[in-house]
């Protein structure tokens, strides 16, 4: 059963017994909860497309561990071709969902962990790599969604993990037992956590020896005892509770971020992949972040395709599609979007094999990719709002459109180009709103800024990887300078 159907995925989520809070309410069945379901639909797309022959080449591959056909989201990249296909798959899913489809975090965590565990074992004589491979085989065989949990709440940003007033502000080991470890802390902004079967927890920063209790990596099922989920809000999220299908903008899909609390959670040794090896925390963070910065060169581009299309349709529907300045804005949006894609493809093509056999992206180019992602979607969104017009901030609701008395006014005064139904115009304007200032703006903008590390984190990596000394030498050579 290496490829699950959508129905099997949904049923597998229903079987998990977890403590999930949404707006202060304990939720019994997250799968059919109207606030949660759109995000589940997005992940379900990763199952659905994998079974479509048309998308087989991007969505599936042969496992390097079992030799079976598996979903690419559970795969260890075996070549630069695999890395390129990953980005193409993410663009496709961004186009299909117009949302964050969440499953990439676990894929990126597993790839980062594979090479890091291998190199850690070689240096320290530990046996983490085989433990991790056993876990991965279980994930691949059962086609599971894995969440990668990196970001700690971090408390006072000027203090190291071990120097925080409250020691739990970074997740840490509280007890080492014969059968495993007990951990406490939290992971913030967790993408797709409630829609996952398994969680891989990783440290969020490089560590020193004083922080060794915080250098911990492990996997737990999402229904492990002691985990509490607190659902993150998104702008206009309660529109999903209003009924109707216009005002949410995106009729079916959405993203999800969750504050996840680990209140003394037990992890058996076979699922622990780093325990106090603080020297390797930095490598894991750097590689995971690198993979996820590559990911954005695919997923955000796919969502960008949707937004550019929405802006163009909005212009057509209001009779403003023809002027050259509108066309020029659309060209600029496409140029910015394809530049992000070029970065995603470039860092993949320039990838390299690590000691474990798993391929890693070019870290400099992946960081350049993400640095651009912190800017270009904002410019694309600005241009989309420019083209769509002020109506994205003032439009009456679907309830007004359907109202027996005022509905005809809405119908009459919101009409645009001759022959275009007012309802269609309202739908496309709501989609632009959704992507640039509504619920999906969390995925398209906030995540573009802060996901996989805020802009400054990429600048630090660019300064480390950019080899300025070499550039200086080139200049001195051509200027005839000998020192
Ligand atoms: Fe995947 Fe993009 Fe969502 Fe990250 S932000 S999980 S890369 S869709
Ligand atoms: Fe993300």
What CATH number corresponds to the domain at position 438? 1.20.140.10
Same domain, 250 and 141: yes
Same domain, 261 and 306: no
Same domain, 341 and 215: no
Shortest-distance ligand to the CA of residue 450: 2
Indicate which atom in ligand 1 lies nearest the CA of residue 101.
8
Same domain, 33 and 137: yes
Question: Is the model's pTM score more than 0.95?
Answer: yes
First-last CA distance in the chain:
66
Domain assignment present for 1: no
Contact 301, 91 (CB under 8 A): yes
If one residue of 42, 102, 112, 448 were mutated to test the ligand 1 pocket, choosing by the most ligand atoms within 8 A of its CB, it would be 102
Domain assignment present for 71: yes
Same domain, 203 and 314: no
Domain assignment present for 412: yes
**Which among 250, 282, 314 is the end of a domain?**
282
Which residues form the domain of 263? 6-282
Alpha helix positions (H), 259-406: 281-317, 324-349, 363-373, 376-388, 398-402
Domain assignment present for 51: yes
Tell me what pLDDT residue 176 has: 98
**Which among 258, 282, 306 is the end of a domain?**
282
Contact 39, 192 (CB under 8 A): yes
Mean pLDDT of the chain: 97
Domain assignment present for 482: no
Report strand pairing: 19-22 vs 25-27: antiparallel
**Which among 262, 282, 302 is the end of a domain?**
282
Distance in Å, CA 323 to ligand 2 centroid: 36
Same domain, 222 and 312: no
Same domain, 419 and 325: yes
Tell me the per-residue pLDDT of 15-61, one tens digit each, with 9 for 90 and over.
999 999 999 999 999 999 999 999 999 999 999 999 999 999 999 99
Tell me what pLDDT residue 1 has: 58
Same domain, 243 and 324: no
Residue 216's φ and ψ, nearest 5 degrees, are: -140, 135
Distance in Å, CA 189 to ligand 1 centroid: 12
Same domain, 157 and 264: yes
Same domain, 243 and 330: no
Domain assignment present for 462: yes
In the chain, the number of structural domains is 2
Same domain, 264 and 313: no
Report strand pairing: 227-231 vs 216-221: unpaired
What helix, strand, coil percent values describe the chain, rounded to 5? 55, 15, 30
Same domain, 47 and 128: yes
Domain assignment present for 481: no
- Catalytic residue set: 100, 104, 191, 257, 292, 296, 299, 447
Residues of the chain with pLDDT under 50: none
Q: Is the CB of 237 under 6 A from ligand 1?
A: no
Which domain CATH number covers 238?
Answer: 2.40.110.10
Domain assignment present for 50: yes
């Amino acid at each position: 059963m290496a490829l699950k159907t959508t129905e099997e995925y949904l049923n597998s989520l229903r079987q998990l017994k977890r403590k999930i809070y949404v707006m202060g309410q304990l939720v019994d069945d997250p799968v059919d909860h109207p606030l949660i379901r759109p995000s589940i639909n997005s992940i379900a797309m990763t199952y659905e497309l994998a079974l479509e022959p048309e998308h087989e080449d991007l969505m599936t591959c042969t496992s390097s561990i079992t030799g079976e056909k598996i979903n690419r989201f559970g795969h260890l990249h075996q070549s630069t071709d695999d890395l390129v296909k990953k980005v193409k798959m993410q663009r496709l899913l961004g186009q299909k969902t117009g949302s964050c489809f969440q499953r990439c975090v676990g894929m990126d965590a597993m790839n980062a962990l594979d090479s890091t565990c291998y190199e850690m074992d070689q240096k320290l004589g530990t046996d983490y790599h085989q433990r991790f491979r056993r876990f991965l085989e279980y994930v691949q065989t059962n086609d599971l969604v894995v969440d990668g949990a990196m970001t700690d709440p971090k408390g006072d940003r000027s203090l190291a993990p071990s120097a925080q007033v409250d020691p739990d502000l970074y997740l840490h080991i509280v007890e080492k037992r014969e059968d495993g470890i007990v951990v406490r802390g939290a992971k913030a902004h967790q993408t797709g956590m409630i829609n996952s079967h398994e969680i891989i927890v990783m440290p969020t920063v490089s560590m020193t020896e004083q922080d060794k209790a915080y250098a911990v990596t492990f996997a737990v099922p999402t229904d492990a005892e002691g985990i509490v989920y607190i659902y993150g809000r998104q702008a206009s999220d309660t529109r999903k509770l209003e009924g109707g299908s216009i005002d949410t903008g995106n009729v079916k899909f959405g993203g999800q971020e969750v504050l996840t609390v680990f209140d003394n959670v037990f992890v058996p040794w076979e699922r622990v992949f780093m325990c106090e090896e603080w020297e390797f925390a930095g490598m894991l963070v750097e590689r995971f972040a690198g993979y996820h910065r590559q990911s954005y060169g695919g997923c955000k581009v796919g969502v960008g395709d949707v937004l550019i299309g929405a802006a163009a349709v909005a212009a057509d529907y209001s009779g403003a599609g023809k002027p050259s300045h509108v066309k020029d804005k659309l060209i600029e949006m496409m140029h910015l979007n394809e530049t992000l894609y070029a970065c995603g493809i470039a860092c993949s093509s320039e990838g390299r094999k690590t000691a474990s056999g798993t391929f890693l992206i070019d870290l400099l180019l992946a960081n350049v990719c993400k640095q651009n992602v912190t800017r270009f979607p904002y410019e694309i969104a600005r241009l989309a709002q420019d083209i769509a017009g002020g109506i994205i901030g003032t439009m009456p609701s679907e309830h007004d459109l359907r109202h027996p008395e005022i509905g005809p006014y809405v119908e009459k005064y919101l009409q645009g180009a001759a022959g275009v139904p007012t309802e269609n115009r309202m739908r496309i304007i709501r989609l632009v709103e959704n992507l640039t200032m509504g619920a999906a703006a969390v995925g398209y903008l906030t995540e573009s800024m802060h996901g996989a590390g805020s802009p400054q984190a990429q600048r630090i990596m660019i300064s480390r990887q950019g080899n300025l000394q070499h550039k200086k030498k080139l200049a001195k050579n051509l200027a005839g300078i000998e020192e």
